[in-house]
């Protein structure tokens, strides 16, 4: 059974959300003629999204959602209209897999057919499929195990790897969760890199990059680590960056020898505390290291400084159950999320307090008004799963100050990817804006881009109805700039 047939089989047997992982091979570019409602006149800008455009190369399936080739979608809102385009990132992996019509590169959870002899010492390919960001007049697609790929924002054509001047070398990696400070315009990002072989095995480091507003240079800090970490995201304020190394073990021997994937060796260690690293961005040095109870943090929401405290919100879990479905989207498992928590760290004393937001539902993919990144924000937007549908099917607006929560179902047999915030032109508050979400309808096998009220997500202003689907994706970026082909 080939990859597409497997997805259809699973969708028929149990959960129809699996059809949302089917490939979109075509590349589209044009105005969306079918609009439900009226696109607000003050909504102007471009919503970029990234995600695997296919879970198969020819008849072969990738072994993990993280390994499909990156496909960028862009919806430009202009004078009450919506324009859609999508294009695959032309990475060497994409070109090779497409040319050969099979899986020709290793991935986070994918092996090349042929056993150890095909995989021994083979690096993991960069699919550039995790996020996309507009910064310093550059549109880049990111993965966390490689360098970014720069794209033409008008056409989405791939221009080549981006090195930020001489900051990155071809072999260095940078994460998919760079964050831009709204006042300084500087983007902070990081990468985990192997640095050598020591007597206890492979040595590695956390490299923190403070990228200039024009994207042309960066200052970097290297922090040696004891073992290969699970580090996917971080929190940013104007002066500090916070990293939490989760209680996860990776065994590197199997992946290096080609006998296992990195995903297969990922294991939660409930005896291992989380390790916190606070970086002072003004002096670019480690300000404090500390420990937290064991846990796993994948995504951070916003963070801010309050007096001597660094305050950060994030989704936290104590098992890898939530990741189990990621390693095989062809299996009929259920997507789950995590619990939203707040960490308060006293920068002077090192005292920490970590508490869950009890009224927040289980969720993932936190978003906020990025004009407020590093500043106090009351609202966190994320997606949740309820009614047992199996995949994210609701939009959540959560007030972190009052605990008030609105969770809105996106409809029967409908599922959502990450929802992003776009500010109104004359906002009355930092949360006065639109929630933009790609909603997949499993019955029609089509996707619509919904525009909802961020504070009251039950209010839908409009939806741009595409005449095709867009596979579920990871992270996106909204910019008030309009880019039309
Ligand atoms: Fe992520």
pLDDT, tens only, 411-458: 999 999 999 999 999 999 999 999 999 999 999 999 999 999 999 999
Mean pLDDT of the chain: 92
450 and 437 Cβ atoms separated by less than 8 Å:
yes
Can you list the positions of beta strands (E) in 1-92?
Answer: 29-31, 35-37, 45-52, 56-57, 60-61, 70-78, 81-88
CA distance 244 to 63: 27
pLDDT above 60 (res 101): yes
Please check whether residue 370 is in contact with residue 360, taking contact to mean a CB–CB distance below 8 angstroms.
Answer: no
Single out the residue of 327, 324, 300, 325 nearest to residue 311, CA to CA.
300
How many angstroms does the Cα of residue 83 sit away from the middle of ligand 1?
Answer: 26
Q: 65 C-alpha to center of ligand 1: Å?
A: 12
Asked which of 121-130, 321-330, 380-389 is least confident by mean pLDDT, the reply is 321-330
Give me 342's structure tokens: 């707040």
Total count of domains within the chain: 1
Question: Which H or E element spans position 465?
Answer: strand 460-465
Find the 431 Cα to ligand 1 centroid distance in Å: 22
Residue 484, in any domain of the structure: no
- The pTM of this model reads 0.95
- What is the mean pLDDT of the segment spanning 191-205? 84
Q: Cα(298) to centroid of ligand 1, in Å?
A: 7
Residue 391 falls inside a structural domain: yes
Q: Of 207-216, 287-296, 316-325, 385-394, which range is least confident?
A: 316-325
Least confident of 153-157, 199-203, 261-265, 271-275: 199-203
Asked if the model's pLDDT at residue 221 lies above 70, the reply is yes
Residue 300 confidence class, pLDDT cut points 50, 70, 90: very high
Which of 171, 175, 219 lies closest to 195 in space, CA to CA?
Answer: 171
CA of 427 to the centre of ligand 1 (A): 28
pLDDT at 332 over 60: no
Residue 373 lies in a domain: yes
Q: How many angstroms is it from 38 CA to the middle of ligand 1? A: 32
The pLDDT tens digits for 31-84 are: 999 999 999 999 999 999 999 999 999 999 999 999 999 999 999 999 999 999
The gap from C-alpha 404 to its chain's centroid, in whole angstroms, comes to: 25
Picking from 146, 235, 231, the residue whose alpha carbon sits closest to that of residue 188 is 235
We report the CATH number of the domain holding residue 166 as: 2.130.10.10
* Higher pLDDT among residues 13 and 382, named by residue: 382
Q: How far is the CA of 176 from the centre of ligand 1 (A)?
A: 7
Sheet holding 187-198, edge to edge: 179-180, 187-198, 201-211, 218-225
Residue 37 Cα to ligand 1 midpoint, Å, equals 31
- Which domain covers residue 388, as residue numbers? 3-479
- In 167-282, DSSP assigns E strands to 179-180, 187-198, 201-211, 218-225, 235-236, 240-245, 248-249, 267-268, 274-280
Residue 282 lies in a domain: yes
Q: What is the pLDDT of residue 203?
A: 87
CA atoms within 13 A on the CB side of 281: 24
Which residues are CB-neighbours of 228 under 8 A, at least 6 positions away? 192, 194, 202, 204, 250, 252
pLDDT at site 249: 87
Query: In a 3-state reduction of DSSP, which class is residue 205?
Result: strand
Name which of 119, 111, 13, 110 is nearest 67 in CA terms: 110
**pLDDT tens per residue across span 230-276:** 999 999 999 999 999 999 988 888 898 899 999 888 888 999 999 99
Nearest alpha-carbon partner for 482 in 158, 156, 75: 75
Whole-number Å distance, alpha carbon 57 to ligand 1 midpoint, is: 23
Q: How confident is the model at residue 86 (pLDDT cuts 50, 70, 90)?
A: very high
Residue 382, in any domain of the structure: yes
Rounded Cα–Cα distance for residues 200 and 198 (Å): 5
d(CA 395, CA 410): 7
DSSP code of residue 124:
B
Q: Cα of 104 to ligand 1 centre, how many Å?
A: 25
User: How far, in Å, from the CA of 131 to the mean position of ligand 1?
Assistant: 8
């Amino acid at each position: 059974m080939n990859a597409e047939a497997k997805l259809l089989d699973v969708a028929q047997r149990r959960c129809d959300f699996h059809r949302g992982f089917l490939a979109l091979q075509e590349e589209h570019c044009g105005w969306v003629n079918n609009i439900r409602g009226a696109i607000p006149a003050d909504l102007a800008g471009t919503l970029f999204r990234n995600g695997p455009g296919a879970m198969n190369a020819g008849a072969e399936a990738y072994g993990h959602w993280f390994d499909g080739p990156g496909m960028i979608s862009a919806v430009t809102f202009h004078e009450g209209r919506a324009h859609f385009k999508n294009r695959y990132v032309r990475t060497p992996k994409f070109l090779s897999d497409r040319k050969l019509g099979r899986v020709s590169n290793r991935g986070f959870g994918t092996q090349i057919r042929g056993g150890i002899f095909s995989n021994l010492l083979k690096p993991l390919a960069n699919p550039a499929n995790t996020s996309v960001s507009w910064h310093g007049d550059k549109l880049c697609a990111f993965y966390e195990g490689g360098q970014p790929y720069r794209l033409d924002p008008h056409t989405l054509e791939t221009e080549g790897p981006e090195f930020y001047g001489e900051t990155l070398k071809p072999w260095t990696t940078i994460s998919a969760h760079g964050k831009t400070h709204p006042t300084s315009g500087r983007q902070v990002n990081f990468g985990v890199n192997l640095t050598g072989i020591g007597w206890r095995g492979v040595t590695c480091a956390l490299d923190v990059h403070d990228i200039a507003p024009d994207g042309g240079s960066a200052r970097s800090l290297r922090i040696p680590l004891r073992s290969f970490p699970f580090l996917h995201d971080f929190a940013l304020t104007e002066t500090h960056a916070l990293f939490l190394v989760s209680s996860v073990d990776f065994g590197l021997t199997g992946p290096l020898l080609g006998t296992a994937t990195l995903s297969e060796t990922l294991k939660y260690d409930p005896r291992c505390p989380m390790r916190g690293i606070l970086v002072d961005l003004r002096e670019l040095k480690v300000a404090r290291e500390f420990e937290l109870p064991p846990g796993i943090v994948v995504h951070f929401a916003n963070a801010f400084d309050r007096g001597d405290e660094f305050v950060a919100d994030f989704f936290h879990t104590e098992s890898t159950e939530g990741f189990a479905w990621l390693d095989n989207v062809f299996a009929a498992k259920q997507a789950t999320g995590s619990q939203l928590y707040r960490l308060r760290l006293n920068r002077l004393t090192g005292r920490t307090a970590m508490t869950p937001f009890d009224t927040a539902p289980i969720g993932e993919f936190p978003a906020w008004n990025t004009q407020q990144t590093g500043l106090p924000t009351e609202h966190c937007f994320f997606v949740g799963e309820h009614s047992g549908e199996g995949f994210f099917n609701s939009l959540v607006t959560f007030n972190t100050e009052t605990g008030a929560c609105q969770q809105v179902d996106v409809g029967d047999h409908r599922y959502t990817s990450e929802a992003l915030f776009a500010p109104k032109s004359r906002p009355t508050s930092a949360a006065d804006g639109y929630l933009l979400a790609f909603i997949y309808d499993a019955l029609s096998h089509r996707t619509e881009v919904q525009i909802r009220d961020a504070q009251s997500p039950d209010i839908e202003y409009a939806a741009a109805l595409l005449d095709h689907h867009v596979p579920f994706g990871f992270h996106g970026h909204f910019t008030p700039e309009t880019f039309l082909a």
